[in-house]
Structure 1
Amino acid sequence: MKNVGIPLRREEIETALLSEELVNYFELSDALDKLCALGHLKLENGAYSVSPSGAELAEMLQNELPRSVRESAVNAVLMAQQYKRKQAQHKAFVTSAKDGWRVTCTIEDLGETVFSFELYLPDELTANAVKEKFIAEGDSIFRCMLGLLTGNKQMLSDFLSE
């Protein structure tokens, strides 16, 4: 958290560290509570930040963790923050439909919908997977669809070579 430099919400920390399998949920929850109780973390407005004593402790313990673990943790937090930003722009909703599920996906920019589509899927698990993939990769999906609809083979080629 010290290296990220901005306060993080609990769900951002959980998403980052649990997705990289760096800790389990109960250890993480316990550690956050203890670090707050000891004054190493501050919880304000739903976000955790490192206190001066926490920064000092992090500095002392910095070499105790392997570099790869430290880098994985920082990268995971940055990816979680990027996902949150995309979630604000790439919106996806799953709703129940007759004999299945509907996923409505939109990309908004400056308050306007610039891209929107709906998919019907047979089960909720697949619908939620599509929702998460759209939030994470909506820009690429938009670029691919635009390339297909405009016949822009270069746009498709660029997408496929990524």
Structure 2
Amino acid sequence: MLLYTQSISAEVAMALNNDELTTQDLRSKDGENPLLRFDAMMAGVKAGGLRSISAINLLVCYIVANLSGRVKAETITTAMEEGELANYFEVADAIARLKNSKLIIENPDGTLTLGDTKGAPIELIEKDLPLTVREQSIKICQKILAKEDFARENKTEIIATDKGFDVVLHVSDMDTDFMRLTLFAATREQAEVIREKFISNPVAVYETLIDGIFSND
């Protein structure tokens, strides 16, 4: 997968730890690599996840650079929590810092883009982040974005009945339903599971059903 590679250096990452952030005077005075400071909370983070605040700042910028104008703050925090790549609260703090310093901008619709670097070159040096973390972060974000698109385009309804719940699933194109399927669930929890499974890939559900109907077996 070919990704957009506007970049941000390790020195920028170090500066991102500050609430009052600029892109000037970013050199570490003691020569320490800020990416090696294991100063981030690790609750909910798997082995190989990000352990430094600077690395989390870098990853947020990397995601925004590659999914500019599409990804929202909650998408990033959800993706990091789902992938166990970084602590949820550390990611939320990183996004707040970056927004406060105008290195990322929140658009009126909630999506994020890279902001004004005040004339300094912002380079995202991919070697500063583990390859697996980079790939997983983008993959999970794209999965969440696809799920959000599916949810907007394909309606689901949970209707309470005397015996439980009817889950009505729609596969739609504009105002036309290609499929409307009703499934019974005994509990609200089961109904929510059916809804979530459907929303994750409604096209696959539709294609599987059609294949079954027209199968020669």
TM-score (norm 2): 0.62
Q: CA RMSD in A?
A: 2.3
**Separation in structure 2 between the aligned mates of residue 38 and residue 135 of structure 1, nearest angstrom:** 36
**Residue 157 of structure 1 aligns with which residue?**
none
Matching residue's letter, 1:121: A
Structure exhibiting the larger radius of gyration computed from Cα positions: 2
How do 1:3-152 residues align onto structure 2 when only pairs under 5 Å count? 3-45=66-108, 46-53=110-117, 56-57=121-122, 59-60=124-125, 62-152=126-216
**Structure 1: runs of 5+ lacking an equivalent:** 154-162
Q: Report if the CA contact (8 A) 1:2-1:58 is conserved.
A: no
Give 1:108 deviation, angstroms: 0.6
Give 1:96 deviation, angstroms: 2.5
Q: Report if the CA contact (8 A) 2:105-2:113 is conserved.
A: yes
Matching residue's letter, 2:214: T
**Separation in structure 1 between the aligned mates of residue 102 and residue 180 of structure 2, nearest angstrom:** 47
TM-score (norm 1): 0.81
Q: Report if the CA contact (8 A) 1:106-1:115 is conserved.
A: yes
Q: Sequence identity, in percent?
A: 21
**Structure 2: runs of 5+ lacking an equivalent:** 1-63
Aligned positions, number: 152
Higher fraction of strand:
1
Give 1:144 deviation, angstroms: 1.8
**Separation in structure 2 between the aligned mates of residue 27 and residue 97 of structure 1, nearest angstrom:** 43
Q: Does 1:2 align with 2:65?
A: yes
**Separation in structure 1 between the aligned mates of residue 85 and residue 209 of structure 2, nearest angstrom:** 36
Q: Hey, which bits of structure 1, 4+ residues long, moved more than 3 A?
A: 54-58
